[in-house]
Chain A
Amino acid sequence: MLSRVANTLYWMVRYVERADNLARLIDVNQQLLLDSERLDSERLRAFWQPIILSTGEEDLFGALYDEAGSSEVIRFLTDDTRNPNSITSCIGLARENARTVRDQLSDDLWESLNALYLFTRSPEASHLIASDPPRYYENIRRSSETFLGIAASTLSRDEAWEFMDLGRHLERADKTTRFLDVSSYLPGGEMGAAAPAGLHWSAILRSCGALGAFRALNRDINSHSVVDFLVFSRDFPRSVRFCIEKADVSLHRISGTPRGTFSNDAERATGRLLAELNFSTADDALSAGLHEYLDSLQTRFNRIGEAIFESYVLMPERIESCFMDPGQALSALAAWQMQQQQQQQQ
């Protein structure tokens, strides 16, 4: 398939997944706020700070807003188009990517994404954000799930599918680590099973849609058990290990190389990370310091993303360079695609 198309499908799905995760994050935390006593503005700021940090847009938020109250944070993350990582922006970017590869998508799939886009730009959406936020977020989540469901039931399991799946699982793994990292920024008693912190752990599980699956294991909710579940679970579809395994499978399907071996840097980076996850435990993650551990995971996800880009988008470009003019700078194509790639590096 065309390199540009592969790259575009990958980003389309990443943006949908990102919006879906954001909707969970905001919704869960907003509801969490209802459980706590009324917070003064200082404590409210402390409550939202980790959430903003987890999206990596703290500087932009500081530049755009003076206050850090609930309504400002929620607007910023939900429908502020000045924030490239707000829900509305992500859906807009997903659709823009989809539009340029419309021929690759089934009618139903395009229609579901376009309908979601039209919803995020509608007066109905603004009205819901103001009057009934849980319904708004539910709408975003349901629509993203519908999008994935339609993709799963209407697309052939070909190369295009694998690139989409890659995008989805890398985005998921990244978001799961970011949600876990929210705990690192919490004021006071961050580790351990103290009651108020316990509430945060269950909020994190809910952000990942994992509370039910976790409860089914009948374990206490504490840092150890939650990290074990969200990072190392073999079965839960949003755990880091699960996502990296899926990414590894996709990469090998694309190249046709047997698993356990590698034919390019993306496969090597993914395989190594998977092996480490396979042979590590929550103790390893916590003893290194959870924040540092999660941070290093994110760096490695980025490296995998770069390597995929390098192998499948830049390589064909390289062929041109050796045919034509070895000194030639990167084409506009590569520049544009690189821009999307780099936006991720934060």
Chain B
Amino acid sequence: MEMFKGYDPGEFYDEMFGADGSVRSHCAPLLRRFKQLDQKDFLARKANSELYFLRQGITFNVYHDEQGTERIFPFDPIPRVMPADEWEPLEAGLTQRLVALNLFLHDIYHDQRILKDEVIPRWYVEQATHYRPEFRGVDVPGDIYIHICGSDLIRGADGKYYVLEDNGRCPSGASYLLENRNALKRTFPGIFDEMGVRPVDSYPRDLLAMLHHISPRRDADPVCVLLTPGCHNSAYFEHCYLAREMGIAIVEGRDLIVVDKFVYMRTTRGLKRVDVIYRRIDDDFIDPVVFRKDSVLGVPGLMNAYRAGNVSLANAVGTGVADDKVIYYFVPRMIEYYLGQKPILPNVPTFLASEPEDLKFILGHLPELVVKAANESGGYGMLMGPTASAAQIADFRARILANPRNYIAQPVVALSRSPTWCDGAMAGRHLDLRPYIIYGKDVKIVPGGLTRVALTKDSLIVNSSQGGGSKDTWVLRH
């Protein structure tokens, strides 16, 4: 098939083709297999994979969308392929990073050495939106705070990987990673032949082993549950999926009750004690007694049980401080401070608007920079300098000056691209990678992660809420 005819890698780093247009050696067998399909067959199989997603109900809900709220997450059948020697340093770098982040969280919720030693200015931590000073001194099992981390990696024009951000609260998307693999196996079984693709199906087992590991109860098999905000949440499919894969109950806040600082679920046979909660509800909504009073999703009294050590939460309360994009700036320093190591994975160069030197630079170069609010996600609250209008730039200038603590800026990284099927032709589209790192007895990462792709031409925003899709990610054995 000549689907790849006329494909132009452009001036970006292309995951499949070198700058001279030749195929990268680890992609050659894959390309050969795709070329054996004729276009009609390819399209029929692609349509089949979409039907699979729709029928399985692998959809996400779009907020503020009145009609037909469920959509499938667009799936591109051309996988992103990564040779073993490319994955290994990522695995090491992500592990190093998560260990350091957990040491940092334990530190700021206990002795605050890193603040006393002035490695990180105290006020940055204390003013982080999701810092929870009321939980200082509360011990969590194994001193682990972020049990599941989704760190977003991007690859620049130089082919180097950078960490774009860390998601240490309730990172979502792991179910898509698993289902993408299922869909690709079902619809293009032929392309897997002898490629030596490492499986990803251990994720639910790793997750469950971690939940068992953090149980506060040693005398009995732990009862683990997944706490969801309910079926109107955009990630509800994923909650069900993971609960079922792990064989644990999926509960809503209304199914749980706290009695004398113990958590129970209401069953047809009365109340049953719960030991570990894999919660997919943010801190703000988890306990209306302590946090937002208007939350109907949470469990009144849950924080009392948590403080008393009678129930474990994954992730722990207060991890959001590590998601703050200003704190992100300091992660390489944390790695050096706690581990005495050089960071294996670099951050994207970042400027803090609250540092006078940086601020001057930011204001002088707005049209060239990406500006981000410190605590927004999902591609919201950001300014893409090169494509922004004068009015948008003026707006952000005012916002930055009004609240410099809340803004950072980064140079635009020309994200790497991969061939993607768009409107009847193969075209280069930008992508990122979100690996899922699990920290229990030890750190486990399923090979690869979720590759998100910006389906809109030239777009650098890969979020599903803004026209992003995804691809299967192949880490090869060799």
Contacts and interface: CB of A to CB of B under 8 A. Distances in A.
Interface of A: 1-6, 96, 99-100, 102-104, 107, 110-111, 114-115, 118, 159, 254, 312, 315-317, 319-320, 323, 331-333
Given A2-B266, A114-B55, A332-B254, A319 B271 contact: yes
B435 interface: no
B394 interface: no
Q: Which of B231, B257, B266 has the most CB of A within 10 A?
A: B266
B267 interface: yes
A19 B265 CA distance: 33
B265 A2 contact: yes
24 contacts: A2-B251, A2-B266, A3-B267, A3-B268, A4-B254, A4-B266, A99-B240, A102-B237, A102-B240, A103-B241, A103-B243, A103-B244, A104-B244, A111-B56, A114-B56, A114-B57, A118-B54, A254-B268, A316-B266, A316-B268, A319-B266, A319-B270, A323-B259, A332-B254
Contact of A333 (B55, B57, B240, B254): B254
Contacts of B55: 111, 114-115, 118
B258 to A, nearest CB: 10
Given A1-B268, A114-B57, A319-B271, 13 more contacts: A3-B266, A4-B255, A99-B240, A103-B240, A103-B243, A103-B244, A104-B244, A111-B55, A316-B267, A319-B266, A332-B254, A332-B296, A333-B254
A320 B265 CA distance: 11
A107 B267 CA distance: 24
A316 B271 contact: yes
Among all A-B residue pairs, the 10 with the closest Cβ atoms: A102-B240, A316-B266, A103-B244, A333-B254, A103-B243, A312-B268, A100-B231, A103-B240, A103-B250, A111-B55
Contacts of B56: 107, 110-111, 114
A118 B280 CA distance: 28
Contact of A320 (B240, B257, B267, B268): B257
Classify the secondary structure of A's interface with B.
helix
B470 to A, nearest CB: 20
B259 to A, nearest CB: 5
B119 interface: no
B231 A99 contact: yes
Interface string B54-73: 11110000000000000000
A2 B255 contact: yes
Nearest to B254: A333
Contacts of A103: 240-241, 243-244, 249-250
A110 B52 CA distance: 12
A96 B236 CA distance: 12
Contacts of B230: 100
B260 to A, nearest CB: 8
A254 B267 CA distance: 12
A331 B256 CA distance: 12
A99 B244 contact: no
Given A118-B55, A316-B271, A323-B259, A99 B236 contact: yes
Interface of B: 54-57, 230-231, 236-237, 240-241, 243-244, 249-252, 254-255, 257, 259, 265-268, 270-271, 296
A268 B237 CA distance: 39
Contacts of A99: 57, 231, 236, 240
Nearest to A311: B268
A103 B257 CA distance: 21
Contacts of B296: 332
A193 B329 CA distance: 88
A6 B268 contact: yes
Nearest to A334: B254
B252 A4 contact: yes
Q: Which of B243, B254, B259, B265 has the most CB of A within 10 A?
A: B254
B279 to A, nearest CB: 16
B257 A2 contact: no
Contacts of B267: 1-3, 316
A115 B208 CA distance: 31
Nearest to B247: A103
A254 B55 CA distance: 32
Contacts of B266: 2-4, 316-317, 319-320
A332 B296 CA distance: 9
A111 B268 CA distance: 27
B150 to A, nearest CB: 22
Contacts of B271: 316, 319
Nearest to B251: A2
Given A99-B57, A111-B55, A159-B268, A331 B249 contact: no
Contacts of A96: 231
Contacts of A320: 257, 266
A254 B56 CA distance: 30
